[in-house]
Chain A
Amino acid sequence: MTQTETACLRPSTTQDVADIIMDAAAAGHTLAVTGNGTRRGFGNPVAASRELTLGGLDQVVFYDPEDLVIRAGVGLTLDELESMLAQKGQYLPFEPPRYTGLYGTDGQRSTLGGAVATALSGPRRILSGAVRDFVLGVEGVNGQGDVFKAGGRTMKNVTGYDLSKLVTGACGTLAALTTVTIKVLPAPRAELTLVLPASTLEEDRALFEKIRALPLGVGGLARRVAVDGKCEVVIRVEGTVPGVAGNRQVLEALLPTPPRVVEQEESQALWRDIRELSCLAPKADELVWRVNLPATAMPAFVDEARKAGCINRFFVDWAGGIVFSTMRGVQPEVDALRYRKMAEKIGARAMILRAPDSIRSQFGAFPPVAAGVAALEQRTRAAFDPAGIFNPGRMTVQA
Chain B
Amino acid sequence: MQMPEPSQDIMNQREALAVALRQIVGQEWVISDEAERRPYQCDGITAYMAMPLLVVLPGSAAEVQQILRFCHAKGIKVVPRGSGTSLSGGALPLEDGILLVTSRLCNVLEVDAANRVARLQPGVPNIKISEAVQHLGLCYMPDPSSQLISTIGGNVAENAGGVHCLKYGVTANHILGLEAVLMTGEVIRLGGAYLGAAEGEMDLMGVLTGSEGLLAMVTEIAVRLEPVPEVARVISMSFASVEQACACVGAIVGAGIIPAGLEFMDRKVLDAVSVLIRETFDSNTAALLLCELDGTAVEVDALVDVVSDVARTQGAIETKVSTTEEERQRIWSSRKLAFSAIGKLCPDYYCTDGTIPRNKLPEVLNKMADMSVKYGLDYANCFHAGDGNLHPIIMYDAAKPGDLEKAEAFGADVLIACVDAGGVLSGEHGVGVEKRDLMTHQFTDIDLNQQQMVKCAFDPAELLNPGKVFPTACRCAEFGRMHVRNGVVRFPDIPRF
Contact = CB atoms under 8 A, between A and B. Distances in A.
Contact of A153 (B422, B442, B454): B422
Q: Counting chain A CB atoms within 10 Å of each CB, which of B165, B193, B295, B389 scores highest? A: B295
B326 to A, nearest CB: 21
Given A150-B447, A156-B427, A351-B199, A162 B159 contact: yes
B75 to A, nearest CB: 20
A165 B199 contact: no
A399 interface: no
B186 A161 contact: no
A309 interface: no
B133 to A, nearest CB: 11
B211 to A, nearest CB: 6
A69 B357 contact: yes
A123 to B, nearest CB: 12
Contacts of A165: 172, 203, 206-207, 209
B172 A373 contact: no
Contacts of A217: 295-296, 299
Interface string A228-257: 000000000001111101110010000000
B207 A216 contact: no
Given A154-B388, A158-B431, A166 B303 contact: no
B114 interface: yes
B451 interface: yes
Contacts of A294: 112, 115, 193-194
B137 interface: yes
A160 interface: yes
A211 to B, nearest CB: 10
Given A66-B359, A159-B431, A125 B446 contact: no
A153 B357 contact: yes
A319 to B, nearest CB: 8
Interface stretch (B33-41, B52-60, B225-233, B400-408): B225-233
Contacts of A295: 114-115, 194
B87 to A, nearest CB: 11
Given A152-B423, A321-B194, A243 B358 contact: no
Contacts of B425: 159
Q: How large, as a class, is the contact surface on chain B?
A: 35 or more
A126 B195 contact: yes
Q: Counting chain A CB atoms within 10 Å of each CB, which of B116, B211, B428 scores highest? A: B116
Contact of A66 (B197, B204, B250): B250
Contacts of B211: 161-162
B375 interface: no
Contact of A160 (B137, B190, B204, B451): B451
B464 interface: no
Contact of A18 (B136, B195, B469, B486): B486
Nearest to A243: B299
Interface string B452-496: 011111100000000001100000000010010110000000000
Interface stretch (A32-40, A79-87, A329-337, A381-389): A381-389
A367 B206 contact: no
Interface in B297-323: 297-299, 301-303
Contacts of A153: 357, 422-423
A240 B203 contact: no
B254 A379 contact: no
B296 A215 contact: yes
Given A144-B483, A158-B159, A189-B256, A163 B196 contact: no
A150 B451 contact: yes
A385 to B, nearest CB: 10
B298 A154 contact: no
B281 interface: no
B206 A162 contact: yes
B371 interface: no
A311 interface: no
Interface in A136-158: 142, 144-150, 152-158
Contacts of B172: 133, 162, 165
Interface in A334-378: 347, 349, 351, 365-367, 369-370, 372-373, 376-377
Contacts of B258: 185-186
Given A242-B301, A349-B196, A155 B159 contact: no
A186 to B, nearest CB: 4
Nearest to B448: A160
Q: Counting chain B CB atoms within 10 Å of each CB, which of A215, A295, A296 scores highest? A: A215
Given A154-B357, A186-B257, A215-B295, A373 B159 contact: no
A376 B457 contact: yes
B424 A159 contact: yes
A29 B67 CA distance: 44
B126 interface: no
A145 B450 CA distance: 12
B204 A296 contact: no
A68 B422 contact: no
A152 B486 CA distance: 21
A299 interface: no
A293 B203 CA distance: 18
Contacts of B298: 242-243, 245-247
A189 B258 CA distance: 13
B38 to A, nearest CB: 29
B200 A158 contact: no
B275 interface: no
Contacts of B429: 158
B97 interface: no
A133 B114 CA distance: 23
B192 to A, nearest CB: 6
Contacts of A239: 295, 299
B426 interface: yes
Contact of A372 (B188, B199, B203, B206): B188
Contacts of A382: 457
Given A119-B199, A377-B204, 14 more contacts: A64-B357, A66-B254, A89-B256, A142-B450, A153-B422, A165-B172, A165-B206, A215-B230, A241-B302, A292-B195, A351-B200, A380-B202, A381-B202, A383-B453
13 contacts: A133-B172, A146-B446, A152-B423, A154-B388, A158-B426, A161-B211, A166-B454, A216-B296, A243-B295, A245-B298, A292-B194, A295-B115, A379-B458
Query: Ordered nearest first, which 3 A-B pairs have the shortest CB separation?
Result: A165-B206, A243-B299, A246-B298
Interface of A: 18, 22, 64-69, 89, 119, 125-126, 129, 132-133, 142, 144-150, 152-163, 165-166, 168-170, 185-187, 189, 209, 212-217, 239-243, 245-247, 250, 290, 292-296, 318, 321-322, 347, 349, 351, 365-367, 369-370, 372-373, 376-377, 379-384, 386, 395
